[in-house]
Amino acid sequence: MTSTDRKNRSDKRRSISSQAVYSTITNCVVFGLVALVVGLSFYSVSFTNYYLKRADSLAHQVAMSATHATDVVTLSDEVMSRYYSLSEDQKMLTGTGEYRELFSDIDTGRGSSYSTLFHLLAGSLEYNDVYDVYVAMYDRENSRIVYIVDSDDNDADRLYPGDWEPVNRKGMNMFMDYDGEGGLYDVDFTEKYGVLCTVGVPLYNDNNEIRSFMLVDLSVKDVALDLLRFAVRIIIAMAVATLLLAYYQTKRIEKNLVRPVNTIVKASKTYVEERHKGNTNNEHFKNLGIHTGDEIEDLADTMAQMEKDLAEYEENLTRITAEKERIQTELSLATEIQTALLPHVYPAFPNRSEFDIYAISEPAREVGGDFYDYFLIDDDHLCLVMADVSGKGIPAALFMMIAKTILQSCAMLGKEPAEILERTNEALSTDNQTGMFVTVWLGILEIATGKLTCANAGHEYPVLKRADGSYEIFKDKHGFVIGGMENSRYKEYTINMGHGDRIYLYTDGVPEATDASNNMYGTARMVQALNRDPNVGIRQLIDNVCYDIVDFIKDEQQFDDLTMMCLEYK
């Protein structure tokens, strides 16, 4: 990423300071809202209970006064008796002068129970913050409330004895079935008065029968307005407290977090810039002077230690890189040496038309343990060697060179294949402290007759093709590996090669090539690849197998050395 890209990216994102301010204000606002909701919830509950208790207390107080000062029970009985005596058509005239004339014989004059009770209720309404105070009784059958005395001082709005209005049946039944336990109230919506909360106290006769109710109405609208006024005051208080808290927290975060982090960021940028310029100053974080006593201070100390460790690491890395380059150079040279040791010029014997031979070796690492060899012992004898040293890398390569030299030396003495392997085994087994060994297939071709005398020391089976046939595995007799045990003996066998016959040799890296699913290539697939185009030149034949292996393992890394050789007898 270039400096311009970093700058553009930095311009697009918010700083820690702005994020801290935003986060603090957001958290404080959320906290304030939660506190406000909780506070209003508790307040609304307590406020409502307060109004209910006050209304209930007023209802009991007025009921007690009415019972002692007037004969409210008798008045209630008179009104309800007259009400029940009317027909339904007469009751439907409620609120009219004609209807009220039906109750004109009830004494409402000065000094009457009605007059005294009216003034008592009107006084209570005047000096208490309630919507209405009145005496009424319910007509359960028709879900109506029948007024006995109303405290409204406005003649036009006052409800007179016998006037009635429909009521909610559920609330009415709750009042009529009251058993004396707990408070008695109901909340109901009416088209005429809106939402009201009615608190009642039953008025009993001498037989403990409910004859009417002293009722007190609370306007839910008035209660809500009081609650709203309180909410406005508490919102203002919470807003001021939230702003003060946010300001304090922002300043605190700025001092203890933002400034130290910005100091570390600035030191980091300076460190990167100077590194790009090749400056080796290693004290960018050492003297930052951050003493917050928390993780920020630990971060500054860690950065200082990291800078010191990086400097030491770079110094060690430079030294290791130089050493690695030296080793790589030596490995490259070793690869060249090993490649030069193996026959690699083709055609191998341009002056000999009796046979054709081709071989390749692809080590899994820079150097490997596989090797092949072919050389003329004399004008009529060609020696063929295919071998695989245990292990990989440099140790295997060194052991391979030793084994190849001994095998070639023994073969040049004119010995038979079995004796060549036995002498080589004797040389490698003596004082073999490394425990390494080598598998070898060795054959000596008598060029004039086509007689191929072979011996196998634990190596892979060769593949034989007759001129008019296909490639098939030739299961020969195996002896023990070379270098594994002293005094090992090996058996020879003979293959009579005819015109156009071929023998294909390989190491275990071919059948054991593995794909991503750990499936091995196998000898069966190898033979199929050979027989896909069996009569092509031996060089193309080996290339076909190589292509098939690559197609099988795909992108997987080569696990083992791959070595192949093919001889065609002409």
Q: Does position 492 have pLDDT exceeding 80, yes or no? A: yes
pLDDT confidence band for 272 (50 / 70 / 90): confident
pLDDT at 479: 93
Residue 227 has pLDDT above 70, yes or no: no
> What's the pLDDT score for residue 501?
96
Q: In this structure, what token pair is assigned to residue 286?
A: 């050492």
- Range 342-569 classified under CATH 3.60.15.10: no
Q: How far is CA 563 from CA 23, 358, 363, in A?
A: 68, 11, 8
pLDDT higher at 144 or 189: 144
Share of the chain above pLDDT 90, in %: 36
**560 or 159, greater pLDDT:** 159
Residues with Cβ within 8 Å of 547's Cβ and at least 6 positions away in sequence, in order, are none
pLDDT at residue 15 in the model: 63
- The top-scoring range by mean pLDDT among 216-220, 309-313, 402-406 is 402-406
Kindly tell me if the per-residue pLDDT of 222 is higher than 90: no
Averaged pLDDT for residues 203-211: 90
Residue 264's pLDDT is 75
Q: Once rounded to an integer, what is the mean pLDDT over residues 145-150?
A: 92
Across 182-191, 243-252, 260-269, 532-541, the highest mean pLDDT is recorded for 532-541
Lowest mean pLDDT, pick from 1-5, 22-26, 207-211: 1-5
pLDDT at residue number 308: 73
Give the pLDDT band (50/70/90) at residue 7. Answer: low
Q: What is the pLDDT of residue 366?
A: 58
Residue 513 has pLDDT above 80, yes or no: yes
Q: What is the pLDDT of residue 299?
A: 76
> Cβ-count burial of 108 within 10 angstroms (0-12 exposed, 13-18 middle, 19+ buried)?
middle
How sure is the predictor about 498, in pLDDT bands with cuts at 50, 70 and 90?
A: very high
The pLDDT value recorded for residue 333 is 64
Domain locations along the chain: 16-226, 342-569
Cα–Cα distance for residue pair 552/549, rounded to 1 Å: 5
- pLDDT of 535 reads 92
Instruction: Please report the pLDDT score of residue 123 as a whole number.
Output: 87
Round to whole Å and give the CA distance between 9 and 408.
Answer: 69
pLDDT over threshold 80, residue 283:
no
Q: Write down the pLDDT at residue 278.
A: 67
> DSSP label at 60?
H
- Identify the CA nearest to 282 among candidates 263, 301, 304: 304
Mean pLDDT of 184-208: 83
Look up residue 111 and give its two tokens.
């000094």
Q: Is the pLDDT of residue 163 over 70?
A: yes
Integer angstrom CA distances of residue 80 from 69, 93, 136, 367, 407 = 21, 16, 9, 121, 136
Strand partners, 505: 565
Q: Does the pLDDT value for residue 332 go beyond 70?
A: no
Q: Is residue 356's pLDDT more than 70?
A: yes
Query: Which whole number is the average pLDDT over 156-179?
Result: 88
What confidence tier does 523 reach under pLDDT thresholds 50, 70, 90? very high
Which pLDDT score, from 0 to 100, does residue 357 have?
A: 96
CATH class of 16-226: alpha beta
For the ranges 121-135, 247-261, 358-372, 448-462, the lowest mean pLDDT is seen at: 247-261
pLDDT for residue 251: 77
pLDDT digits (tens, 9 = 90+) for 415-457: 899 999 999 999 888 877 778 899 999 999 999 999 999 999 9
Class of residue 352 by CB neighbours under 10 A (exposed 0-12, middle 13-18, buried 19+): middle
Give pLDDT tens digits for 372-430: 999 999 999 999 999 998 877 777 778 888 888 899 999 988 789 999 999 999 988 88
pLDDT at 254: 75
pLDDT of residue 54: 80
- Whether the per-residue pLDDT at 10 is higher than 60: the answer is no
Sign of torsion over alpha carbons 172, 118, 125, 209: negative
Range scoring the smallest mean pLDDT among 147-156, 298-307, 439-448:
298-307
For residues 28 and 396, the model is more confident at 396
Neighbours of 172 (CB within 10 A): 19
